[in-house]
Structure 1
Amino acid sequence: MKRAIPVVVLSIAGLVPVWMYEPSALTSTTESAAPASTPSASASSSSGSSSGSNVVKGTTVNTEKGAVQVQVTFSGEQITAVKMLQQPNHPQTTAAVPKLIAETLEAQSADIDTVSGATITSDGYRESLQAAIDDNAKTASASPSPSASESSASASQTVDGSTVNTEKGAVQVQVTFAGDKITAVNMLQQPNHPQTTAAVPKLIAETLEAQSADIDTVSGATITSDGYKESLQAAIDAKG
């Protein structure tokens, strides 16, 4: 299954230091053994926002490798960001999370592939994700339909940032706005480098939190970070 680069939010990617590990570990090794625990799930919870987005916490799924829990941001029924609240402390999990988030944003559902070498984490991720999706659907069905003026005000706008040619390769972002709020960031171009791949989720997560290009540079990916911020600022300026 081909998957696009858009890891937004992937966002969110739990903000874990994934650049410390090589993504190749996903296909060369499997998750190491860890003390087993009884699988269980806690109730999910959600909270709305004045901008029309809905942030929902999925169930906490206790796997053999550790607890897995996601937090999902929705704009209506659209998944705009996914953040890891809990995940096993393991290299394969750390490397797998950006892929799981990227596939979620593309599929817009929990019907995504298992990441090789991180089967247990993948299963827990999907279970927690599905719980968040179900909870959001219940909230949406219980909410009154927005008026025409409200729908117009919350209409999304997608803007491509400038293409920034760095020493490592081209960097370009695509930003989705709901009014003045940044709801999603998608990478259109990025250097084919492990540090870049690992840094992108953190850059996107910080963007969604800061709602601007005034974000920190990711250690080990300075060049990509600078290109990202320049392209992002261009998109913000173009949106007006």
Structure 2
Amino acid sequence: MPKVGMEPKRRAEVINATLTCISLHGIDGMTLDKVAEYADCSKGVVTYYYKNKDHLTIEAFKAFMAYYGLKIESELRSTMTAGEMIGVTMDHILPPYRDDADRKINVSQLDGMENMYIPFEDQARLFLQFFSKAAIDPKLQEVVSESYQADLKGITRIMDYGRMTGHMAVEDSQSAAYGLLAMVVGLSFFRVAKIPPVHGEDNRYIGEDYVRRLTSSQRSSG
């Protein structure tokens, strides 16, 4: 049994180790023994907090999905324009390519929000693993649905704010938010599948162009 007071730290270490294991070996290749090895603890510690592989997979997926919302929320400021807020959102849900292989997965808030991080390649591999399994696993589908419903509400609020302040030309904020999120998910799959756009290696510009049209059209009509 883990030492008293160690629970939050141990839970975080196990979740980080699980995401690392899934990124390297896939969900099918992830085992409780491997997770224990990556977390530098015994298998008993892993099963003390997470009763089996399915339970651990679901909790790791929840932490993976929650990571993006937490990072976005931590960087949004009331002084920002709606366009700037959407920019922060895009930076996280469809990040630019970067060389960050020296960084490690950390989805825990215990060390401070600034130290939460998922390297670019790990994001891509985890995205592919979790979403391919979610296509046939109802429990993982629930995680996706709850997370994206929350994301849609957040993006919709930003677009409502942009419409109210005159910074965004949006007639239907909910539909615009849905379109943006659907585009980002599709672009993410194309990235993982290594299908580059015709005009460049990073397909992020396609999502940025979608947002730019919403803001520039409003400025031109003002």
Larger fraction in helix? 2
Q: Which has the larger radius of gyration?
A: 2
* TM-score normalized by the length of structure 1: 0.25
Larger fraction in strand? 1
Q: Answer 1 or 2: higher relative contact order, Cα 8 Å, separation at least 6.
A: 1
* TM-score normalized by the length of structure 2: 0.26
